[in-house]
Amino acid sequence: MAGHPLSKICAICFDAFGTLIDISSIDAFLEERFPGNGSAISLAWRTKQIDYSRLRSLGSRYKPFGEITEDALRASLASLNLDVDRGSIGEIMDQYMKCRVYPDTLEVLENSPTPWAIVTNGDRDFISPILQGAGIGVSNEALITSDQVRDFKVSPRLYELAYVWAQNYQAETKSKVLFVSANQWDAIGATWFGFTTCWINRNSHTPEELDVAPTYEVTHLAQVMELAKEFMC
């Protein structure tokens, strides 16, 4: 487990997509629906989903993340010369809403030694049914979504909203918040903001060259609880 403690941890913030929610759980459906193209669709879809949210953030052209996700799907299918009708798009989006959690997600959340929140680029109308269907229960106050600031990570506005929440739990400095994400860019954005961060590097990706690194690097979500227990307030 790479990294060195900076301070006590009073609250934890988790990213949702790719961190708690396994978005690759739709891959088998995509492969069944488009034989030989499932992996390519999945990769293009996720890449465009992130790219579109970043472009809209940079251009101050907010659009709900659920709509961006559908836009990214249509563009990905077109880029692969796969012609589908509106009904098929709806079918795929319905399946996306049923994405499963990672095997250790529920146990980690249920046994967290500190208060936790979810900080997501998803808008509330989009993410809430996904979380509910996956068995994740979270209060309104602890679900921090992009539509609250009409912007997307890595904009500091969403991290700032998370910090406002964390201050209710003795996190009087940003470093007392542990921000957890399997998306390296998200962990880096939270590091820039001033949070203590943990990057869940499940697939052995190489570090990015951005003059900063997450505080910790682990390979499984369950390892985050070891940090929380060791350095809890």
Count of alpha carbons within 13 angstroms of residue 126, beta-carbon side: 20
CA 149 to chain CA centroid, nearest Å: 16
Q: Within 13 Å of residue 27, how many CA atoms lie on the same side as its CB?
A: 11
CA distance 189 to 166: 17
1 in Cβ contact with 218 (< 8 Å): yes
State how far the alpha carbon of 164 is from the alpha carbons of 45, 160, 174, 192, 205, in Å: 32, 6, 10, 17, 32
CA gap 169, 142 in Å, rounded: 12
* The amino acid at 99: C
Sequence-separated (6 or more) residues with CB below 8 Å from residue 108? 221, 222, 224, 225
- Residues annotated catalytic, as ranges: 15
For residues 169 and 114, the answer to whether their CB atoms sit within 8 Å is: yes
Length of the chain: 233
